[in-house]
Amino acid sequence: MDLSTETNVERLRHVACLLEAQNKHLLTVLGDKCAELDTLKGRPGDLQKVIDGLNSVRADGTTDEQTSGPPKARGKRGGGRKKRGHGPTPQPELEHVTELFELDEPDQTCPSCGDVLAPVAGGVETSEMIDVVEVSYRVTQVQRQRYQCACCDHTETADGPARAVKGGRYSLGFAAKVACDKYIHHLPLERQVRMMKQHGLRVTSQALWDQVWALSRLLEPVYRGIYQHILTEPVIGLDQTGWPNLGDKRKTKWQMWALTSPGAVYHAIKDDKSTATFVELVGDYHGTIVCDALGTHAAGAREGPGVQLAGCWAHILRKFREAESNFPEAAAMLDLIAELYAIDREADTSELRAKLRRSRSADVLSRMRDWMAKVTTISSTDLGKAIKHTHNHWGRLTRFVDNPDIWLDNNRTERAFRGPVVGRRNHFGSKSERGTKAAAILYSIIESAKDSGVDPAAYLVAAAKRASDTDGDERLMPWDFSPA
């Protein structure tokens, strides 16, 4: 008999009775073997638990344990191997839809008897899969209703949708997507053109650039607001990196500068990293700037009477880490630097940080000086250069002891370059000064959103929409953005 195709209920019931009798016999035999094995091993009751579990299985496949609630967690001694793998990752941000798959009409015939197969009530097998909905583009015919006063013939026309270029052909959402793909996902415009063509849209890279430029003009008030906000902070970070000049490769590359404070990043692409550029950016600032030890920074700080420079311990850490491979004794300095960070991590308030720095951090610095004074090495070696660099900038490096708000390092500012550095590897820099302005504005807004803990793509669209709706009179700052 083939149980999978048998339709005679009486025959199936007869088979079930036979199987039940056979199971009872097997359980009896297994019980006898359990007792015999318990006697031989001296551990009575182990296999009897298996018998009890088998006896508790019901016809519907559940057990007493399953119907009484979730099983208790077992400790390390409770037996059972730890479950491997992590299971499916929850996807709360994705749209969840239900799709029912049914047999085609020709397949709804029983292959055994030819009768019609009827859907089983509640008989649905459920599983999950992650699907993709392709990007699509469409042409929307915008109709703006006109209104006229019957008394004086005054007319009004309804507002149309927001666009980066007023009266242009592309929506504001389209412009924001182009900017996000370039400055968040690092896709060059020419590559975007090819991707859009695959979805049926024919457009030129110049048209995409026009949207990026218009969007940057629309968001320039936000860009200026970020800069003004940073200059009000008591402690800020400053750094710079090269930005390729694609318009004239005979010229030296531009320099991308970064100013940072908690939740804000400001990028400016300038001709160089000179003292004059430093003064242009922060000459009127009053506070402490955490930065590296460039001579132009020191010269610029002397011209800005309100500027005080603080050193970066991450730079010192790297120098001694590089020296450690040839000079194992450098590990002592690495341990002392680690202590400075460990002490700061203990403080959850500015007051406690100030207290710990004046006492314990000051003691660590004293031990550093003692260690460097005792080390005998040639000044031209990696270790000698690291010690000399630390001595030369000791005043800046120890400034944090008297100010709990000064950061130990400038890693915050260096992280602000991650997006632009990946971007310049893909779209290789800028061809014109307009390109540098657009890049500086959009990278500033995107990196500020990241540092403020909000989704940069969602914020970029919302900030552009606010600027468009108010003709630039209102600006939505990253730290004020709350997604719906």
pLDDT digits (tens, 9 = 90+) for 33-60: 777 777 666 555 655 666 666 665 544 4
Say if 317 falls within a structural domain.
yes
User: What integer pLDDT is reported at residue 402 of this predicted model?
Assistant: 95
Up-side HSE of residue 207: CA atoms within 13 Å toward CB? 12
Structure confidence at residue 231 (pLDDT): 97
Give the model's pLDDT for residue 26.
83
pLDDT band at 313 (very low <50, low <70, confident <90, very high): very high
- Confidence bin at 423 (pLDDT 50/70/90): very high
Among 409, 432, 451, give the residue marking a domain's end: 409
Q: How does residue 66 score in pLDDT terms, banded at 50, 70 and 90? A: very low
| Predicted local distance difference test score (pLDDT) of residue 41 | 62
The answer to whether the beta carbons of residues 74 and 84 sit under 8 Å apart is: no
> b or e along 290-323 (b: 16 or more beta carbons within 10 Å of the residue's beta carbon)?
bbbbeebbeebbeebeebbbbbbbbbbbebbbeb
Could you tell me if 422 and 288 lie in one domain? yes
For 224-227, the CB contacts below 8 A with 24+ separation are 225/475, 225/477, 226/264, 226/265, 226/266, 226/444, 226/445, 226/448, 226/477, 226/478, 227/259, 227/266
Query: Which amino acid, one-letter code, is at 44?
Result: P
Beta-carbon count within 10 A of 158 CB: 9
Which pLDDT belongs to residue 105? 85
Q: Are residues 423 and 453 in the same domain?
A: yes
Interval 175-227: pLDDT, tens: 999 999 999 999 999 999 999 999 999 999 999 999 999 999 999 999 999 99
Asked if 225 and 353 sit in the same domain, the reply is: no
Q: Are 360 and 405 within one domain?
A: yes
Residue 78 has pLDDT above 80, yes or no: no
> What pLDDT was estimated at residue 319?
95
Residue 75 has pLDDT above 60, yes or no: no
Higher-confidence residue of 126 and 399: namely 399
Q: Is the pLDDT of residue 427 over 80?
A: yes
**Do the domain assignments include residue 370?**
yes
Is 404 in the same domain as 422? no
Asked whether residue 22 is assigned to any structural domain, the reply reads no
What is the number of domains present in the chain?
A: 2
CATH number at residue 288: 3.30.420
Higher-confidence residue of 10 and 219: namely 219
| Domain finish residue from 369, 387, 409 | 409
Examine residue 132 and state whether it is found in any structural domain, yes or no: no
Hey, which of 91-95, 117-121, 275-279 has the most confident mean pLDDT? 275-279
pLDDT for 258 equals 97
Pair (232, 350) in one structural domain: no
Q: Do residues 322 and 404 both lie within one domain?
A: yes
User: Would you state the pLDDT for residue 74?
Assistant: 42
Asked if residue 21 has pLDDT above 50, the reply is: yes
The mean pLDDT value for 78-91 works out to 64
| pLDDT exceeds 50 at position 372 | yes
Question: What is the model's pLDDT at position 87?
Answer: 75
Domain boundaries, position 235 = 216-310+413-480
Residue 241: pLDDT band (50, 70, 90) is very high
Per-residue pLDDT, averaged over 401-405, amounts to: 96
Contacts with 433 (C-beta within 8 Å, 6 or more apart), sequence order: none
Least confident of 71-80, 220-229, 379-388: 71-80
CB neighbourhood size of 369 (10 A): 13
Q: Are 339 and 331 in contact (CB under 8 A)?
A: no
The residue out of 380, 409, 438 marking a domain boundary is 409
Scan for tokens 């344990």, then name that residue.
65
The larger pLDDT score, comparing residue 122 to residue 61, is at: 122
Per-residue confidence (pLDDT) for residue 68, from 0 to 100: 40
Residue 280 sits in the same domain as residue 255: yes
Percent of the chain with pLDDT over 90: 59
pLDDT at 52: 64
Write down the mean pLDDT value for the chain: 87
pLDDT at 64 over 70: no
* pLDDT for position 77: 42
Sign of CA dihedral 292, 293, 295, 298: positive
Q: Contact, 219 vs 441, CB < 8 A?
A: yes
401 and 455 in a common domain: no
- 224 and 302 in a single domain? The answer is yes
Same domain, 223 and 303: yes
Q: What is residue 54's predicted lDDT score, i.e. its pLDDT?
A: 60
Q: Tell me the mean pLDDT in the region 271-296.
A: 94
Per the CB < 8 A criterion, the answer to whether 444 and 265 are in contact is: yes
Q: Would you say residue 206 lies in a domain?
A: no
- Looking at residue 250, what is its pLDDT? 73
**Same structural domain, 239 and 356:** no
**436 lies in some domain:** yes
Whether residue 337 lies inside any domain: the answer is yes
CA distance 67 to 431: 70
Its pTM stands at 0.76
Q: Residue 51's pLDDT is what?
A: 62
